């Protein structure tokens, strides 16, 4: 979470950057001289007097006395306006607020009304009232008369959104401000302010939403710095260092450079050991060898095996052992790794049976292990065991939270295969929906080899919906007969066909649910989706699992799956900078694109190293505790924490089919 006090103090200094010279600092009151209007003209000049606080306070007193003595003077409006500016410059924000609030009424003919409203918004900002300040400034942003002050208006709107911790809106208005800033020096100051805002650390959701708004350019890089700052703040030092080393190459000497070096210096000053030894248990031969090899490739990237000798920074000593996909072999290899006192922890294995055997042994030996299996129960073996595979529970939780919170849907149905995976998916959906106050309207299973889903869909939507569909179909048939000159049936006459009555616009038929969840492979979905359209089940959102994440689904089902949503633990086309970098590095090194399993292996390795770097004594018990307390790790496979039982808790990628492409929407 941001340090709000730090942001407020830095924002206070911001005003000095603007052309109006608004900011000053509260100081001690000076002894006021007897009323005299000598020097009044100098006080009315925005560029004078000097920045000396006592001189400004003398001007405040002089202007106040002048307005009291001559409230109807022809220059009273000008004097009042300048007095308000001086209130802001000397830090008397309450006085500035009251003056500018009453300015339109007291000086209705004054030519500086728009500017006075700007300063009213500024006063409200410094009085820590961002909501009211935004009301004033947003109205001003749309006023053509305020165009000369657009830069300041946009900047203070952005600053108010910073106070409200609304990062996407803040960056949107900073971007507008930057576009309207002509002077290069002012642009650099504004960019530095944006980097200052990003450097305080933000919640992962805010960073993700901001990334989607700014996929490239300065603001994309600023968000990248924000990701790094958040990693440093959360103790994810290795992840932060990787980002910073890349950014230092991309920004050798620009506005980013000082902040990159400051973060690197801060991390170097920690004085932590720079090498972490990690054991790796993967099936490198046998039936599952190709999966183990691809995960090992990702972990080699994580261990910086391909970096040049002159590159500095922490590194991982990776001890790789082949499990051969055999539980007994895997346990023996694990014992060998555990005998090395330098091994901080272990990543792997992949398969559930092998992972379970190794988990039991790791618990006995007291060595942290992050397994890559999808079976959550493996983590329940003991507190030294963690699970970081993609699970159906993670997907259901992510999807239901998104649909109910972001799309405001509350009624669900599920059409599922009659097997263990389908039944588990149904049960998890029902529990999550009910826990969040929603409703599971219908749940219909189908056989594994089913290809015709008409009966299941009829059960899914119910008789009331089907009767309405049939009635609409009959009406369309009667209309067709009438247009072709045929005889209308008695039912058609009763419905009004052929009587010259104007037909009302047909309302869409709404199914009894808003969201249909289909936890099956994309090829099965490609058969189901067109059948739904056959029964006019159109006004719903289709929802699925990572098994939908294939361009073949779009090719096979086309418009029938458009706007469908599904979750996955990795998206190679993500706009997040560190995902793009990983995909580029992996593809360049191994001539193939990484998938979710590779992302999970990479993340698990770096999480283990970060846990190691956070500890003081570097003991396995400390590493275990650091893993257990890890919150929102910004990895390739989503933001990851661990539940109390050691299973992974993730905020996954939400994907949708937009047009003819799969795109990330959250």
Please give the pLDDT value at position 532.
95
Token pair of 122 as six digits = 């500024």
pLDDT digits (tens, 9 = 90+) for 332-361: 999 999 999 999 999 999 999 999 999 999
pLDDT at 170: 96
Token pair for 477: 């048939």
Q: What is the CA radius of gyration of the chain?
A: 32
Peptide bond connecting 20 to the previous residue in cis, omega within 30 degrees of 0: no
pLDDT at 486: 58
255-287 pLDDT, tens digit each = 999 988 888 887 776 655 568 999 999 999 999
Nearest to 454 by CA among 464, 466, 442: 466
pLDDT value at residue 198: 93
- Give the C-alpha separation, 380 to 363, whole Å: 10
3-state secondary structure 60-73: HHHHHHHHHHCCCC
DSSP-derived secondary structure letter, 511: P
Residues contacting residue 570 through CB under 8 Å, at least 6 positions apart:
579, 594, 595, 596, 598, 599, 600, 636, 637, 638, 653
**How distant, in Å, are the alpha carbons of 223, 239, 622 from that of 230?**
10, 10, 22
Cβ neighbour number for residue 48 with a 10 Å cutoff: 12
Give residues with Cβ within 8 angstroms of 9, minimum separation 6: none
The residue among 334, 342, 284 whose CA lies nearest residue 316 is 342
Distance CA 121, CA 58 (A): 25
Give the three-class secondary structure for 37. coil
pLDDT for res 616: 84
Counting Cβ atoms within 10 Å, is residue 245 exposed (0-12), middle (13-18) or buried (19+)? Answer: middle
Give the per-residue pLDDT at 13.
38
User: Which two three-digit tokens encode residue 295?
Assistant: 């995960």
Structure tokens at 448: 């594994």
Closest CA to 599 of 551, 634, 550, 647: 634
**Degrees (nearest 5) of the Cα angle 631, 264, 309?**
105
* Strand boundaries in 35-167, DSSP class E: none
Q: Which residue has the tokens 């944006």?
A: 194
Domains of the chain: 4-200 (1.25.40.10), 393-462+512-568 (3.40.50.2300)
Q: Which residues of the chain have pLDDT under 50?
A: 1-31, 33-34, 48-49, 493, 497-500
Query: What is the model's pLDDT at position 247?
Result: 86
**pLDDT reported for residue 230:** 86
């Amino acid at each position: 979470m941001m340090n709000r006090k730090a942001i407020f103090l830095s924002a206070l200094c911001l005003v000095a950057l603007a052309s109006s010279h608004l900011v000053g600092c509260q100081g001690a009151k000076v002894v006021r001289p007897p009323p005299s209007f000598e020097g009044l003209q100098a006080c009315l000049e925005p560029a004078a007097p000097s920045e000396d606080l006592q001189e400004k306070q003398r001007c405040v007193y002089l202007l106040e006395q002048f307005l009291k003595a001559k409230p109807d003077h022809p220059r009273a409006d000008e004097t009042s306006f300048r007095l308000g500016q001086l209130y802001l410059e000397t830090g008397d924000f309450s006085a500035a607020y009251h003056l500018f609030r009453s300015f339109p009424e007291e000086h209705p003919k004054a030519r500086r009304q728009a500017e006075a409203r700007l300063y009213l918004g500024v006063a409200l900002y410094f009085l820590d009232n961002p909501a009211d300040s935004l009301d004033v400034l947003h109205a001003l942003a749309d006023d053509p008369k305020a165009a000369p002050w657009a830069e300041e208006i946009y900047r203070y709107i952005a600053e108010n959104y910073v106070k409200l911790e609304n990062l996407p809106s803040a960056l949107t208005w900073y971007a507008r401000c930057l576009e309207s800033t002509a002077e290069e020096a002012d642009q650099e100051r504004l960019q530095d302010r944006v980097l200052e805002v990003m450097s305080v650390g933000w919640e992962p959701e805010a960073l993700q939403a901001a990334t989607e708004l700014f996929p490239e350019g300065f603001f994309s890089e600023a968000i990248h710095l924000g990701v790094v700052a958040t990693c440093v703040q959360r103790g994810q030092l290795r992840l932060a260092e990787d980002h910073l080393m890349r950014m230092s190459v991309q920004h050798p000497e620009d506005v980013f450079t000082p902040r990159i070096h400051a973060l690197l210096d801060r991390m170097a000053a920690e004085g932590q050991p720079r090498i972490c030894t990690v054991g790796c248990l993967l099936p490198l031969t046998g039936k599952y060898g190709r999966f183990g090899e691809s995960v090992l490739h990702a972990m080699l990237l994580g261990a910086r095996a391909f970096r040049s000798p002159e590159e500095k920074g922490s590194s991982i000593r990776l001890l790789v052992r082949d499990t051969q996909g055999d539980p007994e072999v895997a346990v023996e290899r694990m014992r060998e790794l555990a005998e090395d006192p330098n091994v901080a922890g272990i990543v792997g294995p992949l398969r559930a049976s092998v992972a379970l055997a190794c988990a039991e042994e790791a618990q006995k030996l007291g060595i942290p292990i992050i397994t890559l299996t999808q079976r959550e129960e493996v983590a329940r073996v003991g507190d030294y065991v963690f699970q970081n595979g993609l699970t159906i529970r993670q997907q259901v939780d992510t999807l239901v939270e998104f649909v109910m919170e972001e799309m405001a849907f509350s009624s669900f149905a599920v059409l599922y295969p009659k097997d263990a995976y389908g039944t588990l998916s149904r049960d998890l959906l029902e529990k999550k929906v009910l826990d969040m106050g929603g409703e599971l309207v219908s749940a219909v299973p189908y056989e594994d080899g089913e290809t015709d889903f008409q009966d299941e869909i009829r059960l899914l939507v119910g008789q009331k919906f089907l009767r309405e569909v049939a009635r609409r179909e009959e009406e369309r048939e009667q209309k067709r007969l009438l247009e072709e000159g045929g005889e209308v049936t008695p039912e058609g006459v009763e419905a009004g066909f052929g009587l010259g009555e104007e037909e009302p616009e047909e309302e869409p038929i709404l199914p009894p649910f808003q969201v249909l969840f289909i936890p099956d492979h994309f090829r099965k979905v490609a058969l189901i989706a067109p059948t739904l359209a056959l029964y006019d089940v159109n006004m719903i959102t289709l929802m699925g699992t990572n098994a939908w994440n294939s361009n073949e689904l779009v090719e096979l089902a086309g418009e029938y799956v458009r706007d469908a949503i599904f979750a996955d633990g990795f998206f190679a086309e993500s706009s997040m900078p560190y995902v793009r970098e990983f995909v580029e590095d992996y593809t360049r090194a191994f001539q193939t694109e990484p998938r979710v399993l590779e992302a999970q292996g990479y993340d698990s390795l770096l999480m283990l190293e970060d846990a190691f770097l956070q500890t003081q004594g570097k003991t396995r018990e400390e590493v275990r505790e650091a893993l257990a307390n890890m919150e929102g790790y910004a990895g390739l496979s989503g933001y990851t924490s661990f539940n109390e039982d050691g299973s992974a808790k993730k905020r996954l990628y939400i994907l949708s089919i937009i047009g003819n492409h799969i795109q990330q929407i959250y």
